[in-house]
Amino acid sequence: VTTTSTTGKNEQSSLPKNGVPKENPREWRNIRFEVLEKVEDLPSFNSVVLEFVKLARREFFSAKDFETVICKDQALVARLLKVANCGLYGRSRTINSIPEAIVLIGLDNLKRIVYAVSSQGMMCKEMTHYGFDAKQGFWIHSMAVGQAAQILAECCPECGIRGEESFVSGLLHDVAKLVLDGFLGNRPHKQVSLEMERSAVGLDHCELAGLILKQWNIPVSISGPVSHHHDFLAGGEATKGAAILSLARGICAAWNVGEISPIDMSRDIPMSRFAAEMEELGLDESRWESVIWNIRQSLSGMEKLFDNA
């Protein structure tokens, strides 16, 4: 059974209600197996990032913690210093070491660079489907949703979601698309519904992401929201984290961040579109404008990061 012919066949068949093609369950099982095999081929997430994820669960993430973890990967340190010196942070003098970088551009900015640099290899992949910009679209989309999710988590502290974890959930929310892209046929689909994914391989990118993150030992506080970013109300304990992701990706989509269509962050985003998420997060009209303003500010500084990482 070749992937292309099987996928092509499923594409034309009517969409099954439960995601399992009725007529040939055996064939479907083979495809699902192939998908899970492809997961093994994904480059592993940089181990430094995984240590960050662990550290993020602690109350304080100190400069010393950062230094200890980052220095285990000297190649990463070199790239980090290169980005820190790229002019993005308006420094006139050269930054030569991690402690200097922490003082001059701040721990939060440095962490952002580490996440960008560590995910670049895995995420800068040209995809046939999903409508991401060919060059770095998927990576930009993932980083942007991460950044927006972190801001949202910090804007509603009463939800009890850690900003750092929210960022990583956002960064990884669509990671399964990297695998599924190879199973959706050759004709490009700009919009791919969850039903199309299920019809092609028997599971959608939310379910597959759950399996991938489990394999990577990512904690449930991160994988839970990822698994439910398209149906946050069914997220159980992860409902609030998933609502944040749902809102973050909605905002990024409204501005076409990372998509083939040109980016436009000047566009107003009607709050009414996200009434359910807002209610879940306890966000009201009075905070909406400032949330959007914060996200816009933080995303508009990102471009240079991608050019220099």
- Cα separation, 199 vs 187, whole angstroms: 16
CB of 248 to Fe ion, least distance (A): 9
Residue 240 contacts Fe ion per CB under 5 A = no
User: Nearest 5 degrees, angle CA 179-CA 175-CA 46?
Assistant: 105
Tokens found for residue 257: 């961040």
CB 263 within 8 A of CB 132: no
Cβ distance to Fe ion smaller for residue 174 or 181: 174
Instruction: Let me know: does 276 contact 233? Beta carbons within 8 Å.
Output: yes
**H or E segment to which residue 63 belongs:** helix 63-70
Q: Which of residues 80-139 bind Fe ion (CB under 5 A)?
A: none
Output the smallest distance, CB 276 to Fe ion, in A.
17
**Contact between 259 and Fe ion per CB under 5 A:** no
| Residue closer to Fe ion (CB basis): 174 or 277 | 174
Total site size for Fe ion, rule CB under 5 A = 2
**Neighbour count for residue 50 (Cβ, 10 Å):** 18
> What do you get for the CA distance between the two ends of the chain, in Å?
40
Distance of CA 205 to the CA centre of its chain: 12
Q: Which residue has the tokens 């107003």?
A: 268
Which residue's CB is nearer to Fe ion, number 111 or number 249? 249
CB nearer Fe ion, residue 102 or residue 269: 269
Residues paired with residue 259 on neighbouring β-strands, in sequence order: 132
Q: Could you say which of 249, 257, 259, 263 contacts Fe ion (CB under 5 A)? A: 249
Interface with Fe ion by CB under 5 A: which range of 35-43, 188-196, 248-256, 300-308? 248-256
Instruction: Using the rule CB under 5 A, give the single segment among 29-37, 174-182, 187-195, 215-223 that binds Fe ion.
Output: 174-182
Q: Does 197 bind Fe ion (CB under 5 A)?
A: no
Based on CB atoms, which residue is closest to Fe ion, 105 or 123?
123
The count of other CB atoms within 10 Å of the CB of residue 64 is 10
Is-contact 11 199, C-beta < 8 A? Answer: yes
* 228 touches Fe ion by CB under 5 A: no
Contact flag: residue 198 with Fe ion (CB under 5 A): no
Nearer to Fe ion, 146 or 185 (CB): 146
Q: Which residues bind Fe ion (CB under 5 A)?
A: 174, 249
